[in-house]
Structure 1
Amino acid sequence: MSVELAAPDGPTDPAPSPESLRTQAAAWRNGLTAVTALLAAALIVRGPDDLAELHWTVRLLAGALLLAGFALLVRAILLAATATATAPASHDVASVPRLAVTGLGLVGIAVLGAWLAPAAPAPGKLIQLTYDHGIICGLVSLEPEGYVTVLPDPGQQANRITAKARTLVPISSIHGMTEVGVCEPPATLPTPAP
């Protein structure tokens, strides 16, 4: 017993005419040029300040995604412009939407990821403490109760007031606290006897 397949009722999809392909390509070219210019202008106006507070790996990933997304958008625009100017092949015009959607998706993922990514931890503030036994400088914590804990900052150059190890200073012995950018001994600090 054999099965016969019926022929389709109507003709299969005819190949699009070169003129309709040019019209499609021109529409894609114009639309993508406008969208890409708008996105680029928005990112330039906003500047990198939004990314400045993020961890460097998130900034690097967002930058790579933005670069790849804009490269795909420019490739789609150039492909559409070429198809508009020459006798386009249907597969060339059909690849423009795929490139455009992928490029816009990468740009969207980069922007969304930058919005949702947690900010990098803020660096600790250096505090210079004047207390009964002299001056000490480092990262400060108010624990345990009744004490100020001064921790060494590995980024600071060692000198006579930089905390060398975790130091507990009783709150009652503190005369003053000053936030500083760098742990440097004040000019009036006497040099201890050797």
Structure 2
Amino acid sequence: MSAGTDRRWAELARELEFSQLDVLRKQAEGWRNGLLGLTALVTVVTALKGRDDLSALEAPWRTVAVWLLVGAFLLLLAGSLFAVRASFGRPGERVRLGGQALREWTLKEIGRVRRAVYVSAVALALGVALVVGALFVSWTRTEEPAADLVKVTTPAGPLCGELVSYQRDKVTLIRTTGGTERQVVVRGAEVRKITPAKSC
């Protein structure tokens, strides 16, 4: 490198000392925007779609999924607040005038901004991990919708099976016996009562 290039790099290094806080604050603004957007997305999706999806879960897994989503929301919100703090500083904080005081404050503020950005990044990673965990629970522990099982009472005795169709003149069921399915049609005149069944 030439002497002119070395001199220019030295000048840039000196300038960077004075612009470091501004650069960090701009990075923190990016984190803040991303975290607030993700927090809003998790909130909206959970509020609009979550109840339907979570209602299909069995009792203990529903609770696990809800707490994972609550934890994710709180982590993303905390990360957003740390990113806001890093972007704008503490509200009402006064900066003393004077070269040495300003330099000391700037160095301390650089450290605080770095820590806040680090905490917001960790909160983002953990929040996303909890959302993924909640999705995993909801995808793997969702009960399959139960078949429309009914019990049909006839003079010959009760029949149980999956309801295929109901018409005035006939009721069609699929009965499973011994691992094989067969369709059974019961005449409407023979049907005394039809009741839902949990199992056959």
TM-score (norm 2): 0.56
Whether contact under 8 Å (2:68, 2:131) holds in the other structure is yes
Whether contact under 8 Å (1:129, 1:176) holds in the other structure is yes
The CA distance in 2 between the partners of 1:80 and 1:43, in whole Å, is: 23
Structure 2 residue runs of 5 or longer lacking an equivalent are: 1-16, 90-108, 162-174, 179-185
Structure 2 counterpart of 1:77, from 66, 80, 87: 80
The CA distance in 2 between the partners of 1:57 and 1:124, in whole Å, is: 25
Whether contact under 8 Å (1:125, 1:179) holds in the other structure is no
Is residue 61 from structure 1 mapped to residue 72 from structure 2 by the alignment?
no
Q: What is the percent sequence identity of the aligned residues?
A: 27
Structure 1 residue runs of 5 or longer lacking an equivalent are: 1-13, 146-170, 183-194
Decide whether aligned partners of structure 1 residues 177 and 98 sit closer, same or farther in structure 2, where only a CA change above 3 A counts. Answer: farther
- Secondary structure of the equivalent of 1:48? helix
One-letter amino acid of the counterpart of residue 108, structure 1: V
Shift of 1:101: 0.6
Structure 2 counterpart of 1:98, from 113, 122, 127: 122
The alignment's C-alpha RMSD in Å is 3.3
Larger RCO: 1 or 2 (CA < 8 Å, sep 6+)? 2
Shift of 1:42: 2.5
**1:33-182 maps to which residues of 2 (within 5 A)?**
33-86=36-89, 87=109, 89=112, 90-119=114-143, 122=146, 125=149, 127=151, 129-131=153-155, 140=160, 175-176=190-191, 178-180=193-195
Shift of 1:26: 1.1
How many residue pairs match? The answer is: 137
Whether contact under 8 Å (2:42, 2:73) holds in the other structure is no
Shift of 1:104: 0.8
Structure number having the greater helix percentage = 2
Whether contact under 8 Å (1:130, 1:176) holds in the other structure is yes
One-letter amino acid of the counterpart of residue 73, structure 2: F
* Structure 1 counterpart of 2:104: none
Cα deviation code 1:143-177 (max 9, x no counterpart): 879xxxxxxxxxxxxxxxxxxxxxxxxx9xxx435
